[in-house]
Structure 1
Amino acid sequence: MILLLDIGNTRAKYVVLEQGIRSTVKAIDNNVINHSLLEQHFTEITKMVVASVASEDITDIVKGWCEQNELPYQRVYSEQQKAGVKSAYHLPEQLGIDRWLTLVASRILLPKSNVLIVDAGTATTIDVLSASGQHIGGWILAGVETLFESVLANTTKVTATNTNKASLSFGCNTSDNVNNACWAATAGTIYSALKQAERQNCKIDKLLLTGGNAKELQPLLTVESLIIDDLVFQGLQAYSGEVRK
């Protein structure tokens, strides 16, 4: 069994990969990751494949536990080329690893399509991948919750409550005004990305959504889209040596 581990800034998500089949995604807070927890949950693992944007303190704990248990440890980094994908970055290692993995996964899943990938989480990232495997580039926008918090932090006379309800309706109170505008800004950015991709000779065939806000975002869009919750892990699997089933 192979553990695919995606360590974010505050939480780590993981799946267990066995004979090419991924388990459901589970999550743990970074601040509880230690040798004792790893020993408790992952003693049957035969290899660990890791993507991380967290501090090196966290990844060092994981790496150290693997070394202590003589368990193969593989850290994945963004690179110039993988699985038919070519990065648009002149310095490919500067592309966020989660973005890189969604590109790799999209290429494997939709090898003959121009794809727009939207990862809607703490940040909303947008990437365009051509049918030839060329990464055209992308955008990074503050996520819905981050947009909401920034409005309150930078406007002294705006008081609002985060309703956690996705809507594009015009609000009739300040809370709805702010909340709905954040969703509208996100949806509008996606529409703009679709148009910009066409201007750059890459008319989009498939729109993929992933990330924590994907399910709330999808009904707000008037274009067809597909949600793939574990897109990052499908990309990580490409580095594991296990064939996808």
Structure 2
Amino acid sequence: MKLLVDIGNSRVKWGLSEAGRWSFGGAFPTDVPYLAAECERQMAALRRPEAVLMSNVGGVLAGEIFADWCAKHWAVPVRSVRSEASALGVVSAYPDPAQLGVDRWLGLIGARRMGQGACCIVSAGTAMTVDLLDAEGRHRGGAIAPGLAMMRSALGGLEALGGPVETFDGFFCNRTGAALSSGIVHSAVGLVRESLRQAATLLGTEPELLLTGGDAETLRPHIEASCRLVPHLVIEGLHAVAEQSP
């Protein structure tokens, strides 16, 4: 059994890889003061894993705390997965592969492992990232924008625009909170729409849209294109790496 851990900017998610399959284990906030306690609460009862693979974009300290907990609890070293020029049928578009966030890299590997052809991966998290993968497994590049919470936080400091987050029924709203929510969500939806348009032009075919990240379900009802919701794409990628690791 191998432990797969995805330390994101906002949440830590983990799963178990065994006998060619993986299962989701749980999640908790990436809150450094309480990270070790959450590991103890959720993972202490697990049997000792033969390996631990970690994707970390949540900061050096969070990764160190997790690795220290694993060392003390199981005496198992943590392998911090890194972005590469190519691996598992995926070729990075970046001249310096290390500059591509490991969560995005593992998302590409996860999509490839799932048997996807050309696909556009949209991860709606703290930041909103878009990555294009062609049918041959070549990463064609991506785009990055603020996530929904980041956009809301940026506007929340303006007194004239402040107010509680509200649901909205249409694009145009008659309450400030609802208007904020509409503008933020539809800004993100606009990025998705333009990404798909640009991808179709570049590839000469329409790629499948894969939607992942904490805000994926918020965006999904507002996206006109057909899409596939993949809640834990980074862990899917970690599982692929774990399977080919000794």
- Give the structure-1-normalised TM-score: 0.89
Aligned mate of 1:62, from 50, 61, 66: 66
Tell me which amino acid in the other structure corresponds to 1:20: G
| 1:96-115 per-position Cα deviation (integer Å, ceiling 9, x unaligned) | 1111111011112134x210
Mapped pair 1:110 → 2:112: no
Tell me which amino acid in the other structure corresponds to 1:119: S
Match of 1:16 in 2: 16
| 1:185-231 per-position Cα deviation (integer Å, ceiling 9, x unaligned) | 11111110111112323533311001111112111111110001111
Mapped pair 1:71 → 2:76: yes
Aligned mate of 2:196, from 194, 200, 222: 194
Ranges in structure 1 where 5+ consecutive residues have no aligned partner: none
3-state DSSP of counterpart to 2:24: coil
Q: In the alignment, is the contact (CA less than 8 A) between 1:66 and 1:72 conserved in 2? A: yes
In the comparison of the two structures, how many residue pairs are matched? 240
Mapped pair 1:238 → 2:243: no
Rounded to whole Å, the distance in 2 between the matches of 1:81 and 1:14 is 24
1:2 Cα deviation from its structure 2 partner = 1.0
Q: In the alignment, is the contact (CA less than 8 A) between 2:84 and 2:97 conserved in 1? A: yes
Aligned mate of 1:134, from 125, 133, 138: 138
- Give the structure-2-normalised TM-score: 0.88
Q: In the alignment, is the contact (CA less than 8 A) between 1:114 and 1:206 conserved in 2? A: yes
Tell me which amino acid in the other structure corresponds to 1:26: G
Q: In the alignment, is the contact (CA less than 8 A) between 1:166 and 1:216 conserved in 2? A: no
Aligned pairs for 1:67-216 (under 5 A) are 67-68=71-72, 69-111=74-116, 113-153=117-157, 155-163=158-166, 165=167, 168-216=170-218
Change (3 A) 1:223 1:25: farther
Change (3 A) 1:104 1:168: farther
Q: In the alignment, is the contact (CA less than 8 A) between 1:46 and 1:72 conserved in 2? A: no
Q: In the alignment, is the contact (CA less than 8 A) between 2:2 and 2:53 conserved in 1? A: yes
1:22 Cα deviation from its structure 2 partner = 1.9
1:160 Cα deviation from its structure 2 partner = 2.5
Q: In the alignment, is the contact (CA less than 8 A) between 2:148 and 2:185 conserved in 1? A: yes
Change (3 A) 1:137 1:77: same
Q: In the alignment, is the contact (CA less than 8 A) between 2:20 and 2:243 conserved in 1? A: no
Q: In the alignment, is the contact (CA less than 8 A) between 2:212 and 2:231 conserved in 1? A: yes
Change (3 A) 1:29 1:188: closer
Question: Structure 1 residues 38-47 or 98-107, which shifts more?
Answer: 38-47
1:167 Cα deviation from its structure 2 partner = 5.4
Q: In the alignment, is the contact (CA less than 8 A) between 1:114 and 1:202 conserved in 2? A: no
Rounded to whole Å, the distance in 1 between the matches of 2:55 and 2:192 is 26
1:182 Cα deviation from its structure 2 partner = 0.7
Q: In the alignment, is the contact (CA less than 8 A) between 2:134 and 2:203 conserved in 1? A: no
Mapped pair 1:6 → 2:6: yes
Q: In the alignment, is the contact (CA less than 8 A) between 2:82 and 2:102 conserved in 1? A: yes
Q: In the alignment, is the contact (CA less than 8 A) between 2:93 and 2:141 conserved in 1? A: yes
| Structural RMSD (CA) | 2.2
Tell me which amino acid in the other structure corresponds to 2:59: S
Q: In the alignment, is the contact (CA less than 8 A) between 1:116 and 1:126 conserved in 2? A: yes
Ranges in structure 2 where 5+ consecutive residues have no aligned partner: none
Question: Structure 1 residues 24-33 or 123-132, which shifts more?
Answer: 24-33
Aligned mate of 1:49, from 46, 53, 67: 53
Report the identity percentage.
30
| 1:22-43 per-position Cα deviation (integer Å, ceiling 9, x unaligned) | 2224112343233882873444
